């Protein structure tokens, strides 16, 4: 997945925001909490880029068996995975995991905040 496709998958989700931080990373948030981070040194956004998302425990076990998927080093939790350029999972499936990451972050927010983000 390249950065343009990553950003498109993230921006298609409701109530999300994106900020550039951490040396040019595209940091996507919901309710002020990070759900996806992508970056690329290629300014056009066409090169395949690494990105990090949150997954549930079962998905983490399954996905870490795939080429180019590893525990994200800076998040230090098996529920945050980094997808490297050599990842062979197709873009549509990756977009589904990105959407699920957003849902997982929402589920950890206070109920009142969850309701406002889901409507």
118 domain residue, yes or no: no
Residues 6+ apart with CB under 8 A from 83: 1, 50, 51, 52, 53, 68, 69, 89, 94
Average pLDDT, the chain: 92
pLDDT in tens, 10-46: 999 999 999 999 888 999 999 999 999 998 877 666 7
Is position 78 within any domain?
A: yes
Query: Is position 116 within any domain?
Result: no
Residue 117 placed within a domain: no
Residue 70 lies in domain = 3-111
Number of domains observed in the structure of the chain: 1
Q: Is pTM, for the whole model, over 0.95?
A: no
Looking up tokens 């690329």 gives 40
Q: Which CATH number does the domain housing residue 107 bear? A: 3.90.1150.30
Residue 18 lies in a domain: yes
């Amino acid at each position: 997945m390249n950065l343009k496709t990553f950003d498109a998958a993230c921006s298609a989700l409701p109530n999300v925001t994106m900020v550039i931080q951490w040396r040019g990373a595209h940091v996507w948030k919901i309710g002020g909490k990070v759900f996806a981070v992508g970056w690329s040194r290629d300014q056009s956004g066409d090169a395949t880029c690494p990105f990090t998302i949150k997954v549930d425990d079962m998905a983490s076990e399954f996905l870490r068996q795939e080429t180019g998927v590893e525990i994200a080093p800076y998040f230090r939790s098996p529920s945050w995975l980094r997808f490297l350029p050599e990842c062979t999972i197709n873009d549509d499936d990756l977009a589904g995991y990105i959407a699920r990451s957003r849902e997982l972050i929402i589920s950890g927010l206070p109920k009142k905040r969850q309701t406002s983000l889901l409507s």
